[in-house]
Every structure is written in structure tokens, then in C-alpha cells.
Amino acid sequence: MLRAMLVSSALAYGIAALAGEPQAPSTPSIDQGRALYARHCSHCHGFNMVNPGTIAYDLRKFPKDNEARFLNSVTNGKNDRMPPWGGVLSRAEMEQIWAYVVSGGKQ
């Protein structure tokens, strides 16, 4: 029984790895994302992602498994309230900001 559980867990882990499950962001990516966030995003979303959530979305609540949605919103803007940043930030910079958002703004 124990062996079956171990094999099952190993298979699930292997399938998740093959499926491209998100990896935890690296500390350098988070640090670079924090700096980019402070420069480009904090005006509306709050310093360290702390805001009342009344005007701009509270990014601490953004789904951590939805990088594609985040990148699309940053690239193209959102509901005529958030400007598009696709012409300002590179894809790599957006991914670094994503790493910071996924970290929850933790130091």
C-alpha cells in the first residue's frame, strides 16, 4: 500500500513537471521585479502592493497561477483604467514584475 502511494506521488510529480507547472521565482527575479514595480506600478497599485483596492486592483489577491492573464493585462492595459505597458516594458521585465507579484510583496 505504501509503495503504491509513493509510486502514485512520484508519477503525479513527474506529470506536473512535464506539464510545465510554474516554478517558484528566483530571488534575483523578485528583487528586479520589486524595483521595476516601484518605478512603474506603485503609483496606482501601492508601494509594496499595499493599497485600499478601491481604484487599482489589489495585486496581492491576483491569482498566482495566472501568469498569462497578468502579462496580457500589463501588455494591453485593462478596462481603460490601466494603460498598456507593452511599449514601455519588455517581456522579461514584465516577467520579473510577475515574480514580485507572485512573491506577495514579501521582503
Residue 88 clears pLDDT 50, i.e. is over it: yes
For residue 101, CA distances in Å to 56, 75, 88, 96 come to 14, 16, 19, 9
> pLDDT value at position 23?
61
Give just the sign of the alpha carbon dihedral 91, 93, 95, 101.
negative
Span 72-89, average pLDDT: 93
d(CA 35, CA 39) in angstroms, rounded, equals 6
User: pTM for the full model?
Assistant: 0.73
20 falls in which pLDDT band (50, 70, 90)? low
Size (the chain), residues: 107
